[in-house]
């Protein structure tokens, strides 16, 4: 199926409480962080993987819009499958894969200089947490690395306009997903206060083809 247009959503994803999206901790030297955050290997600065955003947003939408328990992502609501994709369920035979209409980019730290002006010399923090053995009552401390509050990441999401008759419904679902994410959390340990985020300065622009995004930008501003 041909793409009629591509719309880019961009803005800032602002971290409002310490955020932990983990990297591999298969090996940790004595005294090192037990659970580090994922970082860009080029800059060694924290990043937010597009896969983390995609997975969390789909999960929240499925929880909100599915009419029944979905055993696999293929069983999600049709509106969710066409945005995020499914391995079966599309095409004339009802079994062909569905290509998702959304592309989630990795988000890179955008306000390094601003954080340094506030006196930060590092862009993550170490948080000590304890788990208690209920039988022995012995604490098991560990160090969790978190992205610091106030960090801003450049957010970018691409939407493929495939069927003009479904655009309004698709865009409403995208906006609902972003709002649900703001009222939930990103990364791990959200029930302990981690991962509160907000999307700021969002705008939409047509980057390929022809599509009027004026009404959409009005919704984003509202």
Number of domains in the chain: 1
- 154-204 pLDDT, tens digit each: 999 999 999 989 999 999 999 999 999 999 999 998 999 999 999 999 999
Query: Of residues 222 and 73, which shows the higher confidence score?
Result: 73
81: in domain: no
- 117-168 pLDDT, tens digit each: 999 989 999 887 756 666 766 656 678 899 999 999 999 999 999 998 999 9
Percent of the chain with pLDDT over 90: 67
Using the predicted structure, report yes or no on whether residue 33 has a pLDDT greater than 70: no
204: in domain: yes
93: in domain: no
Assess contact for 38 and 25: CB atoms under 8 A.
no
Assess contact for 48 and 123: CB atoms under 8 A.
no
78: in domain: no
Confidence band, pLDDT 50/70/90 cuts, at residue 49:
very high
Residue with tokens 């896969």: 51
The pLDDT score that the predictor gives to residue 2 is 57
82: in domain: no
Using the predicted structure, report yes or no on whether residue 206 has a pLDDT greater than 60: yes
130: in domain: yes
Distance CA 166, CA 187 (A): 31
Q: Which residues of 67-92 are buried (b: 16+ CB within 10 A; e: fewer)?
A: eeeeeebebbbebbbbbbbbeebbee
| Residue numbers of the domain that contains 118 | 5-70+99-221
pTM for this one? 0.85
Give start and end residues of each alpha helix (H) in 118-213.
Answer: 167-182
Mean of the pLDDT values across residues 4-13?
Answer: 96
CA 118 centroid distance within chain: 26
The pLDDT score that the predictor gives to residue 45 is 95
Query: Of residues 138 and 54, which shows the higher confidence score?
Result: 54
Using the predicted structure, report yes or no on whether residue 91 has a pLDDT greater than 50: no
Average pLDDT, the chain: 87
Distance CA 99, CA 60 (A): 20
156: in domain: yes
14: in domain: yes
Assess contact for 46 and 39: CB atoms under 8 A.
yes
Coil, strand or helix at 29? coil
Using the predicted structure, report yes or no on whether residue 29 has a pLDDT greater than 90: no
Query: Can you name the residues that pair with 130 across neighbouring β-strands?
Result: 141
């Amino acid at each position: 199926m041909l793409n009629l247009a591509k719309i880019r959503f961009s803005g800032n994803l602002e971290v409002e409480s310490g955020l932990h999206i983990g990297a591999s901790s298969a090996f940790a030297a004595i005294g090192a962080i037990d659970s580090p955050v994922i970082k860009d290997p080029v800059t060694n600065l924290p990043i937010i993987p597009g896969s983390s955003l995609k997975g969390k947003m789909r999960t929240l939408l499925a929880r909100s819009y599915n009419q029944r328990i979905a055993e696999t992502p293929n069983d999600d609501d049709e509106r969710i499958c066409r945005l995020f994709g499914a391995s079966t369920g599309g095409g004339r035979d009802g079994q062909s894969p569905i290509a998702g209409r959304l592309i989630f980019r990795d988000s890179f730290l955008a306000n390094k200089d601003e954080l340094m002006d506030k006196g930060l010399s590092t862009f993550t923090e170490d948080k000590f947490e304890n788990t208690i053995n209920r039988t022995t009552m012995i604490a098991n401390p560990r160090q969790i690395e978190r992205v610091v509050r106030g960090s801003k990441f450049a957010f970018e999401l691409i939407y493929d306009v495939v069927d003009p008759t479904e655009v309004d419904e698709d865009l409403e679902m995208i906006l609902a997903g972003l709002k649900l994410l703001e009222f939930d959390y990103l990364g791990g340990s959200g029930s302990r206060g981690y991962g509160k985020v907000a999307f700021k300065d969002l705008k939409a622009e047509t980057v390929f083809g022809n599509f009027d995004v004026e009404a959409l930008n009005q919704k984003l501003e509202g």
